[in-house]
Amino acid sequence: MKEPVVVLRNVWKTYREGGRTVIILKNVSTTIYRKEIVGVHGPSGAGKTTLLKLIAGLERPDRGEVIVDGYNLNMLDDLGLAMIRNTVVAYIPQDYGLITDFTVWENVELPLLIAGVDKGEREKKIYEALEYMGLLDKAHVTPRKLSGGERQRVAIARALVTTPSVLLADEPTANLDWENAVKVADLLHQVSSDFDTTVIIVTHDPRLLEYVDRSMNLIDGVLKDKEGVTYEGLKR
Ligand SMILES: Nc1ncnc2c1ncn2[C@@H]1O[C@H](COP(=O)(O)OP(=O)(O)O)[C@@H](O)[C@H]1O
Ligand SMILES: [Mg+2]
């Protein structure tokens, strides 16, 4: 049976802008399952990043529920949400969010330090994550010396090092050419099948939707499941 991992129930999100309230997400409901790779497609400003931040526990909804791997995020205080971000869910920002003065190794170490993992265990996990991503030879350089594709792989390694149930990728291919974009899509599939990870990719590039199990549209804050899009293997 399919196991629900991300459940949104009637989620509303607004921001205050210049004294008025702007509705960003309008009554969004969806269920996403274990190991599923879902693409959320929509134009710039549609609310895609906001949606990911709600699932990551980086923002809170005005109304409605966000449930991630059995945790109702509404029930958690800020400390609880920080714990979730370090264990259950990992968010990869569009700009990768790497610390440019840190080496690749140190960037990947950060979530483990925050989680209080001891040194020996940290070293083992960082080594494994970098090896998996083919980045061992870059361990001691800073992200400045890396290509866009390599930076994205460091960001994925940093997200994976805590073995989250859910990986949230914000426009993972926006800064890459198409060949590297396909490699990232391929890699996210590999991650999903190797670690049973649910992957949610938001993108404004419709081509990327050929590489997901299921796609949804987000337009003006309204989320719609699209029909008839089934992942049948990578098309190059
Ligand atoms: N912290 C914020 N405060 C006010 N408005 C915001 C904030 N974050 C996003 N917005 C607005 O919400 C809308 C949706 O933003 P976002 O979720 O980033 O869209 P997308 O990722 O689809 O481009 C935009 O109009 C944006 O300006
Ligand atoms: Mg965005």
Domain boundary among 163, 181, 205: 163
Which residue among 24, 28, 55, 219 is best mutated to probe the pocket of ligand 1, counting the most ligand atoms within 8 A of its Cβ? 24
Chain mean pLDDT for the chain: 92
Q: Are residues 151 and 48 in the same domain?
A: no
- What value does the mean pLDDT take over residues 168-173? 95
Q: Are residues 4 and 78 in the same domain?
A: yes
For tokens 């979730």, the residue is: 84
Q: Are residues 135 and 147 in the same domain?
A: yes
Residue 142: pLDDT band with limits 50, 70, 90: very high
Residue 72: pLDDT band with limits 50, 70, 90: very high
**Number of domains comprising the chain:** 2
Pocket (CB within 6 angstroms of ligand 1): 15, 17, 24, 42, 44-50
Residue 1: pLDDT band with limits 50, 70, 90: confident
Query: Which ligand 1 atom minimizes the distance to the CA of 221?
Result: 14
Domain boundary among 132, 163, 194: 163
Q: Are residues 23 and 110 in the same domain?
A: no
Query: Residue 234: pLDDT above 70?
Result: no
Residue 152 Cα to ligand 2 midpoint, Å, equals: 16
Q: Are residues 111 and 46 in the same domain?
A: no
* pLDDT for the residue numbered 226: 63
Q: Are residues 4 and 49 in the same domain?
A: yes
Domain boundary among 163, 190, 217: 163
pTM of the predicted model over 0.85: yes
DSSP letters of 46-79?
SSHHHHHHHHTTSS--SEEEEEETTEEGGG--HH
Buried b (16+ CB within 10 A) or exposed e, 24-43: bbeebebebbbbbbbbbbbe
Q: Are residues 83 and 199 in the same domain?
A: yes
Residue 116 Cα to ligand 1 midpoint, Å, equals: 33
Residues spanned by the domain of 229: 1-88+166-236
Condensed to tens digits (0 to 9), the pLDDT of residues 7-36 reads 999 999 999 989 999 999 999 999 999 999
Q: Which ligand is nearest to the CA of 94?
A: 2
At 215, which amino acid appears? S
Q: Are residues 17 and 77 in the same domain?
A: yes
C-alpha of 46 from chain center: 17
Measured CA to CA, the distance from residue 99 to residue 208 in angstroms comes to 27
